Structure 1
Amino acid sequence: MLPLRVSKMPVMVDDVMKLLCSVSGERKMKAAVKHSGKGALITGAVAFIGGLVGGPPGLAAGGAVGGLLGAWMTSGQFKPIPQIIMELPPAEQQKLFNEVTAIVRHLEWTDAVQLTTLVMGSEALKQQLLAMLVNYVTKELRAEVQYDD
C-alpha cells in the first residue's frame, strides 16, 4: 500500500459534519429535546384529577388518559441526528469539528471520502466518535438519544 499524505488544505467543517452524519446514520441515531418531562407531568396531573373526581377507578382512567395525552404531546419529537448535525449553527458545528479533529488527528487523509472510509473501517474510531457525539447531544443540546438498530 502507498503511504497516505495529509493534504495541505485544511479539512472543511462540512466534511467532518458529513463524517458524523455517516457514523450516526449507520447506527440510525435519533435525538429528542427532553419533552418527556412535560409528558410525565401531564400524565401525573390527569391521573391526580381523575383520582380526585372518581376515586380509584378515576385514578386508573386518569392515568390511562393522561398517559395517552402525554405520549401524544411528545410523539414525533425525535429527529435523526444527521439532520440535527446539519441544522446546527456554525459555532456549534465548529465545536463538534474541534472534538472530531482531536479524535482523528493521528489519521492521514486527503479528502472527506477518504476520512469517512478510514473511520468507518475502524470500530474503535467509530465508537470514540459515537461516544463524543452522544455526549455532545445530551450535554450541549440537552437531548435524549435513541438508537433504532
Structure 2
Amino acid sequence: MLPSGLAKMPIVMEDVMKLLCSISGERKMKAAVKHSGTGALVTGAVAFVGGLVGGPPGLAVGGAVGGLLGAWMTSGRFKPIPQIIMELPPSEQQKLFNEASTILRHLDWTDAVQLTTLVMGSEALKQQLLAMLVNYVTKELRAEVQYDD
C-alpha cells in the first residue's frame, strides 16, 4: 500500500511512448536502417560498366564514381527516433512498452507530463531508458542510431 492508501497507477502505454519520444528527442536521436547492400551493388555496377567502357582506367574511375554514388544514395535516410516510435505498429509498441515498464514499474504518476517530469529529473532513469531504446532500435529494427547533440 502506498501513502494515503492509494493504489499504484497502472502503466499506460501512451504515456510511456510519449516519455520515450521526449527523452530521445532531447538527445536528438535519429535512426536509419542500414542500406549498405544497396551502396555496394551500385558501386559494383558502376565499376563494371566503367571497366567495360574504359578498360582498367575505366574500372578505376567507375569504382570511384560508383562508391560516391552508392554513399550518396544510402545517406540521409535517418529519421528522428520520436517519429519512428510513433509510427511503430501496435505489436512493436507493445514490445517497447514491455521493456520500458520493467524500468518504470517502481514509479507513480497520473499522466504523461508527470511521468516525463519524474524521469527527466533522474539522470540514472534517463540513461537506463536511452540504453533500452538504443538496444531496441539496433536489435529489433536493425537500424543504426545517430546523435546530433
Normalised by the length of structure 2, the TM-score is 0.85
Q: CA deviation at 1:110?
A: 2.3
The letter for the 1-side match of 2:30 is K
C-alpha contact (below 8 Å) 2:29/2:81 kept by paired residues:
yes
The aligned runs of 1:1-149 (5 Å cut-off) are 9-51=9-51, 53-149=53-149
The letter for the 1-side match of 2:89 is P
Q: Percentage identity across aligned positions?
A: 86
CA–CA distance in 2 between the matches of 1:120 and 1:104?
12
Q: 1:52 to 1:93 in 2, by over 3 A?
A: same
Q: 1:50 to 1:6 in 2, by over 3 A?
A: farther
For structure 2, the residue ranges without an aligned partner over 5 or more in a row are none
Q: CA deviation at 1:53?
A: 4.3
For structure 1, the residue ranges without an aligned partner over 5 or more in a row are none
Q: Deviations over 1:11-55 (max 9, x none)?
A: 321110010001111111111112122112322342344345434
C-alpha contact (below 8 Å) 1:6/1:110 kept by paired residues:
no
Over aligned residue pairs, what C-alpha RMSD do you find? 2.3
The letter for the 1-side match of 2:147 is Y
**Between Structure 1 and Structure 2, how many residues are aligned?**
147
Q: CA deviation at 1:57?
A: 3.0
Q: 1:78 to 1:10 in 2, by over 3 A?
A: same
Q: Deviations over 1:49-79 (max 9, x none)?
A: 4345434532332122212321232233211
C-alpha contact (below 8 Å) 1:32/1:145 kept by paired residues:
yes
The letter for the 1-side match of 2:128 is Q
C-alpha contact (below 8 Å) 2:9/2:109 kept by paired residues:
no
C-alpha contact (below 8 Å) 1:17/1:85 kept by paired residues:
yes
